Amino acid sequence: MKAPLELLEEKFKHAARRAFPDLGDIAVEITQSTQEKFGHYQCNSAMKLAKELKANPRAIAKELIKHIDSSGEPFIANLEIAGPGFINITLEKSYLEKFLHLIITDEHLGIDKPAHKQRVIVEFSSPNIAKEMHVGHLRSTIIGDCLARLFEFLGHDTLRINHIGDWGTAFGMLIAYMKEYTPAVLTGEEETDLPHLMQWYRESKKKFDADPDFKKRGQLQVVSLQSGEPEAMKAWQVICDISRKAYQEIYDLLDIKLTEKGESFYQPFLKPLVDDLENRGVLEISDGAKCLFVEGFKGRDGNTLPLMIQKSDGGFPYDATDMAAIRYRIEEEKVDRIIYVVDAGQGLHFQMVFKGAEIAGYLDRNKITVEHVPFGLVLGQDGKKFRTRSGETERLIDLLNTAIEKADEILKERDPSLSEKERKERAHILGISAIKYADLSCHRTGDYTFSYERMLRFEGNTAAFLLYAYVRVAGIKRKIKIDIESIKNEPITLSHPSEVSLALHLVRFDEALEQVTKDLLPNRLTDYLYNLAEKFHAFYRDCQVEGTPEQNSRLLLCEAVTRTMKQGLHILGIETLEKM
Ligand code: ARG
């Protein structure tokens, strides 16, 4: 079923066209009311129209109302002109009741499949091989997964891409180092892990800078690797596999699926990219390197900044892979929208890649949407970039496991009678949810302070608060011992204002999701769910459920709450519990 906002927009647009045929197509502005006592929605278009027509806004509002089509299913209960010419809109209860039934019976909660199905790439996580994922990658992973889940739920064709940094000159020196110091690892005879790899990486870097002979050997390895020499390729594979294993551990804990298509994937497309750009005449040689100068982007010295497509030594830098990737995604993967979830520090890089792709003729921004979705830093209690006590960058796996352990302690205290097994299961969900929710509920572009204590609280805008609200609603249903299935088709009657307010919020789920597809701010969804829990609590305070004549109707309202909450949390990447 259409979300009320969409339906209202249609109706008002239609009314405007009929009332003022000379004005052609008019964009109407409808918003959710800020105060429910005035109505559910409001139309703000009369003022603007009045300016255009040099007329009185209240008279215009009156004309609009006169032309609203009221045939068909009951939808609008009341229209009222207020202030300078706002139209306050109140929806019919019967419309809300009908929508609630859909939420309960339709597996897609009454939300229509998209009129225009899109192919969307959400590129997220993207750590760098031979290095640990850091908190920045964690933010990307959590936000990207949420956006991908959202597009999947709404019915878009969604590709979850992990653009890992698995190629480049740094691997040459690492392979050279490992060949000399840990040859058995490279042949696969000996196993190791990512922390060791990182240590060797650091040591190889030191040696590279200090020892010219080693430097030469490292550079030779790069050449071997780039020409696909089998021994070098095997070594590179081994290094990638060790890193991948560590990343997978984190993805498993977070229950996140990704398709790896890293920098190396675009290797075969780099040479053709250079040829194509040369044919198009957009490359210039600068200091021996092949560059695409991007108009509109200037450095501090006032000169136009370039994307470097090929270095003077023949190597292909970061800019080149991203140009090859955007071209591949548009031409081969035929996407409608590409979303890059990468920290705010890379903003300039992406704006230049997008513009560069336009200059090259790969990207037509009227047809394809490309967006860099930046996010802020994670801060420690000291307000500085998040670190462990020893000053090292925190290992993500430790951070996740600590959250689970702390959740376990809290659960132990709350209910000592829980069996070990049950507690562990719940602690896992609670700990991981707390981390995800704390991240998603902050405004994406801002920095936020990491605090186990705060994220695991049961009050306020937290995962625990929502999970617990869900458990409470589930508990009510359980206690009354009526099979929802058997009363599903009974009437829902909204009588108390708290019921109407809750119902109105429920039918706005689609509007909240649509908003997130536009501005890609997950906190809009966390806010929506937090408000849903609050509205549910108000309803439960004001309306008795058990043993009243309204019992079954109210139970169905509870059912709509649990279904919406479960789905909403699922989009955030949070699984619900039946008991807590
Ligand atoms: N590997 C990069 C990093 O850790 C992130 C990759 C971002 N995506 C891209 N298409 N450049 O900083």
Query: Which ligand 1 atom sits nearest the alpha carbon of residue 165?
Result: 1
- 82, 38 Cβ separation under 8 angstroms: yes
Is the CB of 567 within 6 Å of ligand 1?
no
Residues of the chain with pLDDT under 50: none
**Top mutation candidate among 162, 163, 328, 335 for ligand 1, by most atoms within 8 Å of CB:** 163
Instruction: Look at residue 461 in the predicted model and tell me its pLDDT.
Output: 97
What is the DSSP-derived secondary structure letter of residue 303? P
CA of 393 to the centre of ligand 1 (A): 19
Calpha distance 222→218 (Å, rounded): 7
- Our answer on whether the CB atom of 163 is closer than 6 Å to any ligand 1 atom is yes
Q: Whose CA is nearest to atom 12 of ligand 1?
A: 127
Phi first, then psi: what are they for 303, rounded to 5°?
A: -85, 150
Q: Is the CB of 169 under 6 A from ligand 1?
A: no
| Site of tokens 């949420």 | 146
What pLDDT shows up at residue 389? Answer: 57
Helix or strand holding residue 229 (H, E): none
CB-based contact 182:192 (threshold 8 Å): yes
Pocket of ligand 1, candidates 126, 160, 326, 327: which has the most ligand atoms within 8 Å of its Cβ, to mutate? 126
Cβ–ligand 1 contact at 125 (below 6 Å) = no
Show Cβ contacts of residue 231 under 8 Å, excluding neighbours closer than 6 positions: 224
Q: Is 128 in the pocket of ligand 1 (CB under 6 A)?
A: yes
In terms of phi and psi (left: phi > 0; alpha: psi -120 to 50; beta: otherwise), the region of 465 is: alpha
Q: Is the CB of 393 under 6 A from ligand 1?
A: no
Mutate to test the pocket of ligand 1, among 247, 346, 354 (most ligand atoms within 8 A of CB): 346
Pair 37, 80: CB distance under 8 Å: no
Helix (H, G, I), strand (E, B) or coil at 417: coil
The answer to whether the beta carbons of residues 386 and 378 sit under 8 Å apart is yes
**What is the per-residue pLDDT for 47?**
94
Residue closest to 505 by CA, chosen among 547, 472, 548, 536: 536
Phi, psi of 121 (to 5 degrees): -100, 125
Measured CA to CA, the distance from residue 454 to residue 206 in angstroms comes to 41
* Nearest Cα residue to atom 11 of ligand 1: 322
Residue 342 Cβ < 6 Å to ligand 1: yes
Q: Is the CB of 39 under 6 A from ligand 1?
A: no
Set out the domains of the chain in order of their start, with CATH numbers. Answer: 4-91 (3.30.1360.70), 169-255 (no CATH), 267-373 (no CATH), 396-453 (no CATH), 463-572 (1.10.730.10)
DSSP 8-state assignment for residue 302: S
Q: pTM for the complete prediction?
A: 0.96
**Helices 551-572, 523-542: crossing angle, 10 deg rounding:** 160
At 131, which helix (H) or strand (E)?
none
Q: Ligand 1 mean position to 357 CA, how many Å? A: 17
Cα–Cα dist 316/271, whole Å: 9
- In the prediction, which pLDDT does 403 show? 97
C-alpha angle 554-555-561 in degrees, rounded to nearest 5: 90
- C-alpha separations of 168 from 224, 311, 467 in Å: 12, 12, 44
- Residue whose Cα lies nearest atom 5 of ligand 1: it is 126
